[in-house]
Amino acid sequence: MTGLLDTLPAGQARFLRAAGPGPELAADPMLATLSERRDFPSGWVFERKLDGVRVLAVRAGDTVTLLSRSGRRLNATYPELVAALAAQKCADFTVDGEVVALSGGRTDFARLQRRMGLTRPRDVEASGVDVTYYLFDLLRLQGADTRGLPLRTRKSLLRRALAYRAPLRLTTHRNEGGGDALADACARGWEGLIAKRAESRYRPGRSPDWLKLKCSLTQEFVIGGFTEPGGGRAGFGALLLGHWDEGRLRYAGKVGTGFDHRSLVALRALLDSHAAGRAPFAGRVGEPRPHWVEPVLVAQVAFTEWTRDGMLRHPRFLGLRDDKDPRDVVRERPERVSGAGSRPGRR
């Protein structure tokens, strides 16, 4: 192992493992846990929470592969990212990050959705949507699995391993954060912050070492049906939403705002293509004459709170997600802590 890995702090080389050039390390990314925590001791770093789609990138020699969180290949959707990574002097790495579309300096998920799912070059070009790839972690470098290194070390290697020119950016971080930092992020129109233990290792799956601190509540929901439009509205009235709980799709309410005429018409056609003969939800849904659909579409929804009976209050549709497996959509429950220096625990 030569090059950047020779600059590791004393004693950290023992955390490295040999890693092949394939996409195996990107198959199960590390995930953050929603948290209500606001007080943090030293030893945490804070990144901007980006409103985009998770993308992992693997470069092995002349080959670059972009993968969604669920393992779907995305090269045709984001060819400019493939080109930017292929142009790097470093030819052996696996990185983790978020693809976003920017509007007025803020991430705009609705704008990004116009680009998601496109695979034909002419459609990508015609979308008019430029994307930016914010990189925040390094899983492999120069033939070594770097996931066992502390986060600070991985971020240092990532900063030095690649050249950051549009459309690539390095995700910066603060060494201090908490309630005031989150309030500042919300005032800037950000989605929130990601708090990470500075010494944490990169481990597959959801972890209390990475915490999501959100400005407002948002999460994914499975679409199980829709209602007919009223008045002069096109397409449909509202989407019927649910989440999985112990193998059953539980109804969580309906969302009828956040759509324009174009999205109403396009989404109605998509819903009709997945029509189902019976309700996918467990229990009764109190809507007259609903249309049922197969539970295969995932919607991103913002809302103010959960009601006591598990319904969404003031939901607003943000867009469809094609990077999430519907079977993985569950109700996100924030971690709670009893003290500023304690580790968050499962509720």
Residues annotated as catalytic are: 49
Nearest alpha carbon to residue 250 among 226, 283, 276: 283
d(CA 5, CA 157): 8
Residue 7, C-beta contacts closer than 8 angstroms, at least 6 positions apart: none
d(CA 252, CA 312): 6
Residue 238, C-beta contacts closer than 8 angstroms, at least 6 positions apart: 226, 227, 254, 255, 256
What would the two tokens of residue 3 be? 């090059």
Residue identified by tokens 């030293």 is: 42
3-state SS assignment for residue 218: strand
Nearest alpha carbon to residue 5 among 152, 145, 172, 194: 145
Contact 184, 31 (CB under 8 A): no
| CA-CA-CA-CA torsion sign (168, 174, 179, 185) | negative
Paired strand residues for 233: none
